[in-house]
A and B are shown apart, each in its own frame.
Chain A
Amino acid sequence: MSENIDVELEQEIATFYQSLGINQGPGDIQYRLMLKVLEKNDPGITEFADIREYTDQFADRGSIGSKMKTVFQLEGLVKKVKRGGYVITDKGLMAASFLKNTTVFYKKTKKMGEIIERMP
């Protein structure tokens, strides 16, 4: 599964969810990109370098590692397999599937909003 990650779109979606009051999970650009990369690399190992490729413009050094530990690892979305290397779990895949749904919802809402906007 090697679909490309559209960083700009993810940023747009994260901003949209933040505007709904959802600052974590779907509304967090780092969370979105990390989960996307983990899903993309499934069943292989994801290293920090893979994630940083996308998150460098949004994250300070260290924040990705901290998020990986406090959110992903603690909640059981990933399994640490080596130093700096993680594999997505079944629960993580479920979260990734939910993330996809948030993208679909965003696109649908945006499309509808535009239709209403064009209505005189």
Chain B
Amino acid sequence: MMATELLLNITICFAITISSFAFSWVLARSEPEHNGKSKPALWALVIFWALVGLTYLPTTIRMIAAYMHNYELDLVMYNLASVPFAFISVPLVYFIIYIIVGDKKISTYVSLIFTIFGAAYLALLYSSGVNSTITEWASLFSINSDIAINIYLMGLFIVPTAMILGLLLIILLQRVPKRLRYRTTLPLVAISFVFDFMLTDMITNVDVMQVSARLFVLIGTVQAFLAYFPPLTLQEKLGIREYQYDLYMEDGETGSKHQIGDDTDV
């Protein structure tokens, strides 16, 4: 009898799918609010979150298949989910390189290298074949090769993580307004959260570990959402509320209209 634990796994995967697709959609919709310089990074981010969703959509179906003892579908969905997963570092690398260097060409070349690495991973994966194990918590696949492929995969993920940490350090060492610091560091933390727990999810062969990794991916997605669209209560609590000041607002103390905050007669 299949246990309810697997149902929990399905729910988490589904929640990740929905929330990352929704986040990607909302980010894409906010495009007019961004200036020309941040647009390439924004689109990279949109693609990144869409790829997270695309990875977890087949994974959800895969878990349902495992629950219903449909092993063929499980395997097909595993192979399908591996495709967006293999290329997830591509938009991320583009995002980070573009933010640091500011050159679209360089970012494209570097992300192209990661595309090749991702494709090589897929080729390796498909040529090696996989072994499946279904437990009451999860459906696990282990790749029929030595650990080389896992090490390779780690390389594919650790380099972008190191880049994120570097960027995070650059921003944290600067004196910037609190609101800006929140807006810049929290998405980065969320991205590295999601990114690394996806890796853990993919390479682990402990069922509970898979579920908890997915839980953290979900937390990361919510965190990223909060980073971009913080609710008012959170803004007030963190002291990052953006105050609107109207230049032509009546000034209470002088009782007259002034341009550009003329306080000389206060």
Tell me the dominant secondary structure on chain B's binding face. helix
For the A-B complex, the count of residue pairs with Cβ-Cβ distances under 8 Å equals: 36
CA distance A112 to B34 in the complex (A): 18
Give every chain A residue within 8 A of B259 (Cβ-Cβ): none
Asked whether any CB of chain B lies closer than 8 Å to the CB of A62, the reply is: no
CB distance from B109 to the nearest CB of A (A): 18
CA distance A118 to B102 in the complex (A): 7
CA distance A21 to B41 in the complex (A): 33
Asked whether any CB of chain A lies closer than 8 Å to the CB of B11, the reply is: no
Interface residues of B (CB under 8 A from A): 27, 34-35, 37-39, 41-42, 45, 98-100, 102, 167, 170-171, 174, 176, 180, 183-184
CA distance A120 to B39 in the complex (A): 7
Asked whether any CB of chain B lies closer than 8 Å to the CB of A8, the reply is: no
Q: Is the CB of B174 within 8 A of A117?
A: no
Q: Is the CB of B35 within 8 A of A116?
A: no
Find residues 78-120 in chain A having any chain B CB closer than 8 Å to their own CB. 112, 114-120
CA distance A95 to B41 in the complex (A): 41
Q: Is the CB of B102 within 8 A of A120?
A: no
CA distance A117 to B167 in the complex (A): 14
Known: A120-B42, A120-B45. A115 touches B37 (CB 8 A): no
Q: Is the CB of B170 within 8 A of A118?
A: no
Give every chain B residue within 8 A of A115 (Cβ-Cβ): 99-100, 102, 167, 170-171
Give every chain A residue within 8 A of B38 (Cβ-Cβ): 117-120
Q: Is the CB of B170 within 8 A of A116?
A: no
Give every chain A residue within 8 A of B37 (Cβ-Cβ): 114, 117-118
CA distance A114 to B176 in the complex (A): 13
16 A-B pairs whose Cβ atoms sit less than 8 Å apart in the complex: A112-B170, A112-B174, A112-B176, A114-B37, A115-B99, A115-B102, A115-B167, A116-B184, A117-B35, A117-B38, A118-B41, A118-B99, A119-B99, A120-B38, A120-B42, A120-B45
